[in-house]
Amino acid sequence: MALIVQKFGGTSVADTTKILSAARKAIRETRAGNQVVMVVSAMGKQTDRLVELANEISDRPDAREMDMLLSTGEQVTIALMAIALESLGHKAVSFTGAQIGIRTDATYSKARIRSISTDRMKKALDDGKIVIAAGFQGIDDDFNITTLGRGGSDTTAVALAAALNADYCDIYTDVDGVYTTDPRVVPDARRVDRISYDEMLELASLGAGVMHSRSIEFAKKFGVLVHVRSSFSDAPGTVIGPKAECEDAPVCGVALAKNETRVAVLGVPDEPGAAMKIFSKFADAKIPTDMIAQNSSSKGKTDVSFTIQSEDAAKAREVVVDVFNEINAAGFEIDENVAKVSIVGLGMTRRPGVAQKMFHALAERNINIEMIATSDIKVSALVNRDEAVDALRALHAAFELDKAPVVSDAAANADETGSASGEEFAKLASAQWISRLTGMEDLLVEGVDLDENQARFTLCDLPDRPGLVAEVFDRVAEGRVVVDMIVQSVGRDNLANVTFTVAREEAEAVAKITEELAGVYGCRVESHVAAAKLTVRGTGLRSHTGLAYRMFKTLADDGVNVDVISMSERSVGVVVDAAVGQRGRDELAKEFAEETL
Ligand code: ADP
Ligand code: ASP
Ligand code: MG
């Protein structure tokens, strides 16, 4: 007998006919001898309607009351689902988040799950009932209702599967699986049979709305196999597990985050404390920052740019106004008309030239790139919001994602759910982690690495125009150089800085190339040949908003200056002077000792 968690999203329970059809899917599983826990969302667009009602009364409704309001959507569905199951002759019981003891912290609208008590659910299952749990909600220590963030029912479902040690978690939705990108935006998108936790986590946090990214943190941490499938057909769907569809493919998918906002604080005094104060204030306000870039300083001043989600833009403006006077900056810009397009793939770690291909695809459509940020398994580019869909389509076509990758024989022979060793590792790891975690969604660090063999180059004050970055990296590629991190941003006077790192032995060749480029574009070159990269690896690195700040602060307190940063869901890397690399590694290991496996 297996234990299965089945989650039904809004469209899958939009009316009573669909609720009955979902109920039949659950009954079918019990007839096959399995126990079923259902997790349901609010019906159709009910959550949006509730938000609109609140906004008709106030443009800044109280956060506690918003969570109280939004949680009612799911409460309606659980009761109707229980009524549906009973009407079809099956015993059922519905529970709100509070009733099954989904304990969260007190961060309204973005609460994190701390613990789940399984006793009540297990008792009901043993009594032969189908358990129906309300998605997206929990309760804090003071019995206030909290919600997990929009789309959070996925996270409830995978968290319940983890807590109950379920055999797998089915996510029933209005598409028949995970695609190479949103099939509603790019009709050529291809459904994938399977995708790795790391890739799905990255795609979800970069805008692939099919899964709530925090649900994949749970899946990876606790080794839950997730199956995304259609509510309206019996198509095979997609397995999200330890194994990738094709380890060799440089790109497995592309994502669009349409509602991004670029924040630039200009003329920041070039001392470690100043830039850090900005990130400390954003961390305190629980506003996640992404694509962090610091233009190299001129006349003792530097520009600090980063992106946030537009839903946080109003709060961010307050934070910037507050910090801007404190650090004596020269000015700031908040641009709400931008969007982020990203390519993701495990294979890009072993393939040179992937970023370059992306820049070319955008240049060919005359799309200007306002910012670039890379990490081990993704490259993101910030573009004008009006050009974002065009950019996404261009990237999907450039990497030929409509065609299935050629899978090697060994990979083709692996079973559906991924390699046994991968699964065993996940289960073993999860047993250790569960026993150590005080909260299920706690940050988890796997280790801190030091790579002392880096060199950094920055081209300062380049003209900002479409195609320029593609040209720059064409010249670099002509020297057969493999580029690691790339960061680009536009600062004062519309001049761009492009920073990249290479292996130390390439430094001499790259120095020649950058000198030539300086001649062609009239830009300035800055380099740091003896550089090192410090990397913190783990799970929850990005959704725990204070992590980058903690890294900066730990290093700054020890007198170590951070040059470049690269962030993904599974690693955050910073470039420092090689002479202080080992010291920096030790300090970071100390700082994260509590959270380290
Ligand atoms: P639910 O209400 O079931 O949670 P969502 O609307 O949250 O459903 O998620 C499903 C939608 O996600 C799809 O209708 C699709 O438009 C969108 N989507 C975005 N990116 C992807 C992707 N890579 N693969 C599949 N669907 C995607
Ligand atoms: N009902 C919530 C929302 O619309 C949660 C969910 O559906 O996952 O965001
Ligand atoms: Mg969803």
Work out the pLDDT band at 153, boundaries 50, 70, 90. very high
| Mean pLDDT across 440-469 | 93
Dist. CA 407–CA 4, nearest whole Å: 30
Give the DSSP H/E element, type plus range, for residue 393.
Answer: helix 388-398
pLDDT digits (tens, 9 = 90+) for 278-295: 989 998 888 989 999 887
Dist. CA 159–CA 593, nearest whole Å: 25
Of residues 455 and 1, more confidently modeled: 455
Ligand 1 atom closest to Cα of residue 180? 23
- List residues near ligand 2 (CB under 6 A): 9-10, 41-42, 47, 73, 135-136, 150-153
259 Cα to the center of ligand 1, angstroms: 16
Residue corresponding to tokens 């959550």: 47
The reported pTM is 0.94
Ligand 1 atom closest to Cα of residue 9? 3
pLDDT digits (tens, 9 = 90+) for 476-490: 888 888 899 999 988
Dist. CA 293–CA 307, nearest whole Å: 9
- List residues near ligand 1 (CB under 6 A): 9-12, 41, 151, 173-175, 178-179, 181-184, 208-210, 253
10 Cα to the center of ligand 2, angstroms: 7
544 Cα to the center of ligand 3, angstroms: 21
CATH number for the segment(s) 255-401+444-595: 3.30.2130.10
Write out the DSSP string of 560-589. PPP-EEEE-SSEEEEEEEGGGHHHHHHHHH
44 Cα to the center of ligand 2, angstroms: 9
Q: Which of 313, 326, 324, 257 is nearest to 285 (CA)?
A: 313
Ligand 1 atom closest to Cα of residue 12? 3
308 Cα to the center of ligand 3, angstroms: 21
Check whether 433 has a pLDDT greater than 80: no
| Mean pLDDT across 118-139 | 97
Atom 6 of ligand 2, residue of closest alpha carbon = 151
Check whether 408 has a pLDDT greater than 90: no
Radius of gyration of the chain (CA): 24
| Mean pLDDT across 243-271 | 92
Ligand nearest to the CA of 210: 1
pLDDT of residue 419: 41
pLDDT digits (tens, 9 = 90+) for 39-51: 999 999 999 999 9
Q: Is the Cβ–Cβ distance between 147 and 85 less than 8 Å?
A: no
Atom 15 of ligand 1, residue of closest alpha carbon = 182
Dist. CA 558–CA 496, nearest whole Å: 30
Atom 7 of ligand 1, residue of closest alpha carbon = 210
pLDDT digits (tens, 9 = 90+) for 214-255: 999 999 999 999 999 999 998 899 999 999 998 889 999 999
Q: What is the pLDDT of the chain when averaged over all its residues?
A: 92
22 Cα to the center of ligand 3, angstroms: 16
Check whether 545 has a pLDDT greater than 90: no
Furthest CA-CA distance within the chain? 79
List alpha helices for 58-172, DSSP H: 63-87, 119-126, 153-163
Ligand 2 atom closest to Cα of residue 152? 8
Q: Is 33 exposed, middle or buried (0-12, 13-18, 19+ CB in 10 A)?
A: exposed
The structural domains of the chain, with segments of one domain joined by +, span 3-246, 255-401+444-595
Ligand 2 atom closest to Cα of residue 45? 4
pLDDT of residue 296: 67
With pLDDT > 70 as the criterion, what percentage of the chain qualifies? 94
Task: Report, at the CATH architecture level, how domain 3-246 is classified.
Answer: 3-Layer(aba) Sandwich (3.40)
240 Cα to the center of ligand 1, angstroms: 15
Please name the amino acid found at residue 224: V
pLDDT of residue 511: 96
